[in-house]
Amino acid sequence: MARNTKNRGSLLQLKLLVVVIFLPAILEAQDDRAPEILRGSVTAEREWWDLRHYRLEVAFDPKTKKIAGSNAIRFKTLKPGKRMQIDLQEPLSIDSVVHEGESLRFERSGSVYWVEFPEVLPAGETYTVRVFYGGTPQESKNPPWEGGISWRKDKNGKPFVATTCQGIGASIWWPNKDHGYDEPDEGMEILATVPETLTAVSNGRLIETRSDADKKTRTFVWRVTQPINNYCVNINIGDYANYSDTYEGEAGTLTMDYWVLSYQLEVAQKHFREAPRVIRAFEHWFGKYPFYEDSYKLVEVPYLGMEHQSSVTYGNGYQNGYRGSDLSRTGVGMKFDFIIVHESGHEWFGNNVSMKDVADMWIHESFTNYSENLFVDYHFSKEEAEDYVIGCRRLVRNDRPIIGEYGKNQAGSGDMYYKGGNMLHTLRHIIDDDEKWRKMLRGLNETFWHSTVTTEQVEGYLISKSGIDLRGYFDQYLRTTDIPVLAYKTEGKQLTYQFEKAVENLTFPVRVNVNGESRWIHPSSDPQVMTMDEPIKAFEVDRNFYILSRDIQAADQ
């Protein structure tokens, strides 16, 4: 991704001036660790302290496209430490770092700042550093896939501003510990200052609005009480109207808030009736909504939408489908608003159960992709749900494995959506017990409640609760690009079959139809033989199993 550059000579002069006036040494540091390692791994400068709370204060100026503010980072020392890694991407820069009233030394290495305490901090203590920063942040040209700030205008010409940062990292617009493994256990506060004619909407609940008549600004104070991953933190600014409702759910009364452009209020009040239906379906399948304390919000934004925790952003044009089209090409996708369903599904998988390393992004996207199918199953029919998820197989590319490379901020293939969803759909049919499957999905959210997890933990849970050895199954679908092929041959009453293009330990039960009758077979890489009561005239694999099939006899002929 290209970044804007500035005159480095002028920048160096400015930094030297800051050193003279404000004392902290701001040096252009060199580090022999590659940028992707510094961003994507749990470095020594990260692991010694545990994140407890953020207090982010930031002012937005739509005219100049500049931001400025601070982030107070409260942390607990897990072991003695002196050097801390704070992340902030260019062209933004840190102005100062303050601890107990004293300015700390810091140096920069690309998107990483190394902050030095005057002495080693002992283990088991809680401290706060406040990081002051500002500048002209990277502007997003294609949100949400390209991160940064979107400085747009609504149809009335009023500023319509939003932040997005999944993938590129939250440090594209605010300083933080920019790695998924550590979330602020005690939540955060977000104070957004904007021109007085605008409203700023963020995560959690709005607890206060402050006006400054002299500066002609308003500051909106939002509070998040639950842990939150960095990329879910967002601020949206516009000429918003707000209306609210409540939903009586599994954990009591859930506040449902809707923030939409003022001229969209009437259409939103009709279209957003979908939101309580989504909560109802997902509480059935996944368990109670994970953030009752922080509410549920739908917020209109100038891009398609994102899963910002307790602040689901929406830009699908108040229409069903994905931008008005059906991804499955079955007609089922037009029965619901894709963005409301998909992004709300992330409240369970992504925001409640969160990945430790971005290589395991499939935990977020595969389960949430399958949540679309489960929504259809709950509100329409199981057959239509099957049509939908199977119809989306055409979008699978099998270009690279779903799991990325660990420690390098590298996600796997986009197949984590449609291939991942079909992997879970197949697993549901392997288990062949919908109530057991539902308990497993709910159990994942209960077991890993407000936690960051690894693939191994999720795999281990599913293997344990299913009672099936699925190690080869997950290796096949998550770690290779091959869809297993069921090679078979029929001779009279005899069926011979085995897996091809399979990992060494792949074996799982497959439902097939023989002469119109449903049967189970248990293929592996070794040939298996089954003898029927009558000559075999017709054979096919149940469509709910995401495997290919090959008739050996037909191929030989």
- Rounded average pLDDT per 10-residue block, the chain, 557 residues: 33 35 40 83 97 98 98 98 98 98 97 97 98 98 94 98 96 98 98 98 98 98 98 98 98 98 98 98 98 98 98 98 98 98 98 97 98 98 98 98 96 98 98 98 98 98 97 98 97 96 96 96 96 95 98 75
281 found inside a domain: no
Q: What is the pLDDT of residue 556?
A: 61
Q: What is the pLDDT of residue 190?
A: 98
Q: Are residues 70 and 31 in the same domain?
A: yes
291 found inside a domain: no
Q: Are residues 516 and 400 in the same domain?
A: no
295 found inside a domain: no
Q: What's the whole-model pTM score?
A: 0.92
Q: What is the pLDDT of residue 24?
A: 37
DSSP output for 507-528:
---EEEEETTEEEEE---SS-E
Q: Are residues 69 and 201 in the same domain?
A: yes
Q: Are residues 106 and 233 in the same domain?
A: yes
Spatial distance between the Cα atoms of 268 and 484, rounded to a whole number of angstroms? 45
Domain count, the chain: 3
Structure tokens, 145:
């896939």
Single residue among 189, 222, 238 that ends a domain in this structure: 238
Per the CB < 8 A criterion, the answer to whether 212 and 218 are in contact is yes
Q: How would you classify residue 148: left for phi > 0, otherwise alpha for psi between -120 and 50, otherwise beta?
A: left
Pairing type for strands 93-99 and 102-103 reads antiparallel
Q: What is the pLDDT of residue 320?
A: 98
420 found inside a domain: yes
Structure tokens, 470:
């699925």
Per the CB < 8 A criterion, the answer to whether 519 and 513 are in contact is yes
407 found inside a domain: yes
Q: Which domain holds residue 549?
A: 485-556
Q: What is the pLDDT of residue 139?
A: 97
Q: Are residues 395 and 510 in the same domain?
A: no
Place of tokens 């800051």: 18
203 found inside a domain: yes
Per the CB < 8 A criterion, the answer to whether 178 and 166 are in contact is no
Amino acid at 511: R
CATH assignment of the domain containing 353:
1.10.390.10
